[in-house]
C-alpha cells in the first residue's frame, strides 16, 4: 500500500495528526516530515523536509512511495506579519511544489485553509461558504491562493485535493505556532500556573474555534469522504464554537474561581482578528460530508484543564 506523508509534522496540528494516522494505518505507513529536527521517542519514519525544496520533496515521495500528502507546513498569521516573503515562499511556494509533485506522482493532497482566508469586506456574522475573500494579511493572501491552487490542480489535472477552512485550534500536546488565536491556548497554561492571564486581544473579540480532537476527526473524515459528494472540495468552512476572551475567562472561572484576566492589546494581532469572521456558516461541510463537532466551549474547557493539570504537574 502506498504511504502517507505529513509535512510540517512537528507543529501544533501535525503532532496530533501523525499519531492519529499511525493508529489507523500503522506506524510504518505514515512518514512525518518537518524542517525542524525529529523529536525523541517517535514511532515510525521521520524525515527532514523543506517543502520549498523540490528536489528533497521529489526524492522523499519516490523513496517512500507516497500516495497521500497532508500538507501542514506553513507560517501562521502573526509570524507572517514579521516574515511576509518567507510566508509567501513557504505557504504558497511550498503548496505549489506539493501540488505539482502530487500531479507527477499521483498523490491525493489535504491542504488546510483558515478563517484567515476572509477579510474585512467579508460578511462577519455567519460567514457564508461562498462569499467575498479579500484578506488584508499576508497569511490570508497565501491561504486564498492555496485554495485557488488546489481548485486549479483538481480541475485541470484531476489531482484529488481536499481542504478545510480551520478556525483557531485549541490543544494541549504541542504549543501553537504563532497565530492570532494562540491566546485561547496560552490562557489555559497561565490559568493553571499563575491563575491570571494577560490577553493580547480585546475582551470582546469573537472568533471561531475548535478543539483538536474535532480538528483531527474533520481532517480524517474529509479525506475519507466519497469524492462525488464534495462540491466545495478545497475550502469547507468548519467550526465547533465561537467565543470572546471574556467568555473563555468566565468558563475557566467555573473551574478556577479566582482566575483573573487583563488585557495588553497587541495592535497587530488585534487588527488581524478584527478582519476575520466572528462566526462562520459550516452547513456545506455538514451537508456534503457529515461534519459534526463533538466539543463545545464547556466540554473543551473542562478537558483542556484536566489534561494540562496532568501535563504540568510537578514531578515528585
> Minimal distance in Å, beta carbon 126 to ligand SER?
19
Q: Is 179 in the site for ligand NAD (CB under 6 A)?
A: yes
Of ligand NAD, ligand SER, none, which one sits near residue 135, judging by CB under 5 to 8 A according to partner kind? none
By beta-carbon proximity to ligand NAD, the closer residue of 50 and 253 is 50
Q: Is 218 in the site for ligand NAD (CB under 6 A)?
A: no
Q: Is 168 in the site for ligand NAD (CB under 6 A)?
A: yes
Count of residues engaged in binding ligand NAD, rule: CB under 6 A: 29
DSSP 45: -
Active centre residues (catalytic): 139
For residue 169, what is the enclosing H or E element? strand 168-170
- 22 phi/psi in degrees, rounded to 5: -65, -35
Q: Give the footprint of ligand NAD on residues 96-125 (CB under 6 A).
A: 112, 114
Cell triple for residue 20? Answer: 492519529
State yes or no: residue 281 binds ligand NAD (CB under 6 A). Answer: no
CB 84 → ligand NAD: shortest distance, Å? 14
Question: Can residue 7 be called a binding residue for ligand NAD (CB under 6 A)?
Answer: yes
* Nearest-5° Cα angle at 193, 188 to 196: 70
* 49 contact, one of ligand SER, ligand NAD, none, CB 5-8 Å limit per kind: ligand NAD
Task: Please state the closest distance from residue 176 (CB atom) to ligand NAD, in A.
Answer: 6
In whole angstroms, the minimum distance from the beta carbon of 140 to ligand NAD comes to 10
Closest to 297 (Cα-Cα) out of 258, 238, 260, 243: 243
| Cβ pair 74, 35 in contact under 8 A | no
* DSSP labels, 224-270: HS-GGG-SSTT-EE--SEEE-HHHHHHHHHTTSTT-EEEE---HHHH
> How many CA within 13 A on the CB side of residue 308?
21
Interface with ligand NAD (CB under 6 A), residue from 47, 50, 100, 266: 50
Could you tell me which stretch among 57-65, 71-79, 98-106, 229-237 binds ligand NAD (CB under 6 A)? 71-79
Residues at the contact surface with ligand SER, assessed by CB under 6 A = 76-77, 114, 116, 139, 168, 179-181
Produce one character per residue of 206-225: b if its CB has 16 or more CB atoms within 10 Å, e if not: bbbbbbbbbbbbbbebbbeb
C-alpha–C-alpha distance, residues 217 and 23, integer Å:
13
Residues in contact with ligand NAD by CB under 6 A are 7-8, 10-14, 34-36, 49-52, 72-74, 76, 90, 94, 112, 114, 166, 168-169, 176-177, 179, 181
Amino acid at each position: 500500500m502506498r504511504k502517507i506523508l505529513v509535512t510540517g509534522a512537528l507543529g501544533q496540528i501535525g503532532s496530533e495528526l501523525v499519531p492519529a494516522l499511525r493508529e489507523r494505518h500503522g506506524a510504518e505507513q505514515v512518514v512525518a516530515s518537518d524542517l525542524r529536527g525529529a523529536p525523541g521517542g517517535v514511532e515510525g519514519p521521520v524525515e527532514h523536509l523543506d517543502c520549498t525544496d523540490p528536489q528533497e520533496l521529489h526524492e522523499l515521495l519516490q523513496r517512500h512511495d507516497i500516495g497521500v500528502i497532508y500538507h501542514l507546513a506553513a507560517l501562521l498569521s502573526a509570524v507572517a506579519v514579521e516574515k511576509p516573503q518567507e510566508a509567501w515562499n513557504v505557504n504558497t511556494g511550498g503548496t505549489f511544489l506539493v501540488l505539482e509533485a502530487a500531479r507527477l506522482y499521483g498523490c491525493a493532497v489535504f491542504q488546510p485553509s483558515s478563517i484567515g482566508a476572509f477579510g474585512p469586506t467579508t460578511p462577519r456574522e455567519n460567514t457564508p461558504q461562498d462569499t467575498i475573500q479579500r484578506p488584508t494579511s499576508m497569511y490570508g493572501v497565501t491561504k486564498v491562493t492555496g485554495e485557488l491552487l488546489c481548485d486549479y490542480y483538481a480541475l485541470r489535472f484531476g489531482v484529488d485535493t481536499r481542504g478545510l477552512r480551520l478556525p483557531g485550534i485549541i490543544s494541549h500536546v504541542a504549543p501553537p505556532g504563532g497565530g492570532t488565536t494562540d491566546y485561547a491556548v496560552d490562557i489555559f497554561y497561565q490559568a493553571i500556573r499563575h491563575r491570571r492571564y494577560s490577553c493580547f486581544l480585546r475582551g470582546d473579540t469573537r472568533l471561531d474555534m475548535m478543539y483538536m480532537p474535532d480538528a483531527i476527526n474533520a481532517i480524517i473524515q474529509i479525506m475519507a469522504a466519497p469524492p462525488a459528494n464534495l462540491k466545495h472540495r478545497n475550502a469547507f468552512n468548519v467550526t465547533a464554537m465561537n467565543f470572546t476572551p471574556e467568555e473563555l475567562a468566565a468558563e475557566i472561572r467555573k473551574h478556577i474561581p479566582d482566575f483573573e484576566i487583563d488585557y495588553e492589546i497587541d495592535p497587530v494581532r488585534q487588527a488581524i482578528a478584527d478582519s476575520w469572521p466572528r462566526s462562520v456558516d459550516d452547513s456545506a461541510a455538514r451537508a456534503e460530508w457529515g461534519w459534526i463537532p463533538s466539543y463545545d466551549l464547556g466540554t473543551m474547557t473542562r478537558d483542556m484543564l484536566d489534561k494540562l493539570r496532568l501535563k504540568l504537574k510537578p514531578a515528585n
